[in-house]
Amino acid sequence: MRKFIYLVGLLVITGCQDVDYVSSKYQQKLSEAVGKSAAYLYASWGEPQQITPIADNAYLATYYSSESKPIDGNYHPYGSEMNYAAMAVPNYGLPLPPPLFYCQTTFVIRNNIITDFNFNGDDCF
């Protein structure tokens, strides 16, 4: 019985997975780089802003971008998913700073071949 409950719980969690993230165009774009050389990455993305060695013949190449307006025009990309009302701070009559939209993309490179990637941010397109 315990295994059955565990299996049902696992199916519910899997069913709630964000399908848009898994099949996003940005994810697909990054997936195309896996298996290609580091030279390909540098030719298409330029020099990374940060390189972090992680092992012999392996490192992370990280790219950052930030804009004052979103690339796709969506100023509230997670508006229906997140609410930060508890973090609201009064501006005391001072002008508000301009919004900042960012994306951090990291590629894992082993033996000069892209093996994996990761990205984080509210403006990854």
pLDDT band at 94 (very low <50, low <70, confident <90, very high): confident
Whether 13 shows a pLDDT value over 80: the answer reads: no
Dihedral sign of CA atoms 15, 18, 22, 25 in order = positive
**Closest by alpha carbon to 62, among 117, 101, 121?**
117
Average pLDDT value over all residues in the chain: 76
Residue 117 lies in a domain: yes
For the chain, the domain total comes to 1
Residue 103 lies in a domain: yes
Residue 4 lies in a domain: no
Residue 64 lies in a domain: yes
Question: What pLDDT score was predicted for residue 69?
Answer: 65
Question: What pLDDT score was predicted for residue 18?
Answer: 45
Question: pLDDT tens digit string along 104-118?
Answer: 999 999 999 999 999
Residue 63 lies in a domain: yes
Quick check: pTM over 0.75? no
What pairs with residue 49 in β-bridges? none
Question: pLDDT tens digit string along 34-44?
Answer: 999 999 999 99
Question: pLDDT tens digit string along 52-85?
Answer: 999 999 999 999 988 766 555 555 555 555 555 5
Residue 6 lies in a domain: no
Residue 11 lies in a domain: no
| Distance in angstroms (rounded) separating the CA atoms of residues 49 and 12 | 40
Residue 26 lies in a domain: no
Range of the domain at 104: 37-73+96-125
